[in-house]
Amino acid sequence: MIKVVDLHKSFGKLEVLKGITTMIKQGEVVAIIGPSGSGKSTFLRCLNLLEEPTSGKIWIGDQEITNPKTNIMKVRQNVGMVFQHFHLFPHMTVLENLTYAPMKVKGMTKVDAEAKGLELLQKVGLAEKANEYPNRLSGGQKQRVAIARALAMSPDVMLFDEPTSALDPEMVKEVLEVMKSLAHTGMTMAIVTHEMGFAREVADRVLFLDGGQLVEDAPPSEFFSAPKSKRAQEFLEKML
């Protein structure tokens, strides 16, 4: 589903990603963890080219998105993204946030888009907020709307960039629950997270990044109980 080969990314002189090669299979849930500054968010943001890789290749499905000839706008329609700070459109209602892209980008009719939007709001437990503006929602509600907004495009892959890091502790659970049920539907997911318990429970694989390198790639049962590298051991000691 996603294939990454020797991905490098530099910001000026700072090399953030130093050659990452990995694969994410269809339906797989991958947790990307690592200390801050390890390049995990940058890695995720390269997967839909919000960051332009300095070198290396990335495939989404059978499309090489790092090929300049690829229409990235088209690819992005199938790659949903959820941000740490939600980034809902504040001048649109919750439902309009969900229907905007399906209507304006995919050409869905208003009736269909609204039906789909309401169905998704139901799934994230926010149907009654359809006509509210985002500013009236709590952080956890905003993030659930943001997930629904990404799902409204019927993506094949969902990217999550620290989806619970900006939330008050009591709201983390409601968002993780939504993500968990999404994982059970067989959605391909790449999640940058600090929620070790969640990674352990939901992820099929853990990618541990440190210093711009992929240091470990293992199932959570292995990674959390017997990390191989010293860096992962140190990191887990601090986290758990």
Partner 1 sequence: MGFGVNLNFSQIIPSIPFILQGVGVTLKIVVFAALLGFVFGVILALCKIGRIKVLTWLADAYTSVFRGTPLVLQLMIIYFGLPQLIGFEIEAFPAAVIAFGLNSAAYISEIIRAGILAVDKGQREAAMALGVPYKRMMRDIILPQALKNILPALMNEFITLTKESAVVTVIGAMDIMRRAYIVGGQKYAYFEPLLIAGLIYYILVIILTLLGKAVEGRMRKSD
Number of residues that bind partner 1 (CB under 8 A): 28
Candidate ranges 13-21, 62-70, 73-81, 228-236; the one touching partner 1 (CB under 8 A): 73-81
Site membership for partner 1, residue 91 (CB under 8 A): yes
Q: Could you tell me if 159 and 48 are in contact, meaning their C-beta atoms sit under 8 angstroms apart?
A: yes
Site for partner 1 in 142-171 (CB under 8 A): 149-150, 153
> Residue from 22, 54, 63, 77 that binds partner 1 (CB under 8 A)?
77
CB of residue 91 vs partner 1: minimum separation in angstroms? 5
Site membership for partner 1, residue 133 (CB under 8 A): yes
Site membership for partner 1, residue 81 (CB under 8 A): yes
DSSP-derived secondary structure letter, 182: H
Site membership for partner 1, residue 90 (CB under 8 A): yes
Site for partner 1 in 210-229 (CB under 8 A): none
CB of residue 41 vs partner 1: minimum separation in angstroms? 12
Q: Could you tell me if 203 and 30 are in contact, meaning their C-beta atoms sit under 8 angstroms apart?
A: yes
CB of residue 28 vs partner 1: minimum separation in angstroms? 20
What burial class does residue 158 get, using C-beta atoms within 10 Å of its C-beta: 0-12 exposed, 13-18 middle, 19+ buried?
buried
Site membership for partner 1, residue 74 (CB under 8 A): yes
Site membership for partner 1, residue 135 (CB under 8 A): yes
What burial class does residue 78 get, using C-beta atoms within 10 Å of its C-beta: 0-12 exposed, 13-18 middle, 19+ buried?
middle
CB of residue 112 vs partner 1: minimum separation in angstroms? 17
Site membership for partner 1, residue 25 (CB under 8 A): no
CA angle 83-85-91, nearest 5°? 105
CB of residue 207 vs partner 1: minimum separation in angstroms? 21
Closer Cβ to partner 1, 86 or 224, answer by number: 86
CA angle 18-22-27, nearest 5°? 145
CA 151 to CA 79: how far, in whole Å? 9
CA 48 to CA 76: how far, in whole Å? 6
Residues 6+ apart with CB under 8 A from 119: none
CA 119 to CA 89: how far, in whole Å? 20
Site membership for partner 1, residue 117 (CB under 8 A): no
Rule CB under 8 A: which residues touch partner 1? Answer: 48, 50, 73-77, 79-81, 83, 85, 87-92, 100-101, 104-105, 133-135, 149-150, 153
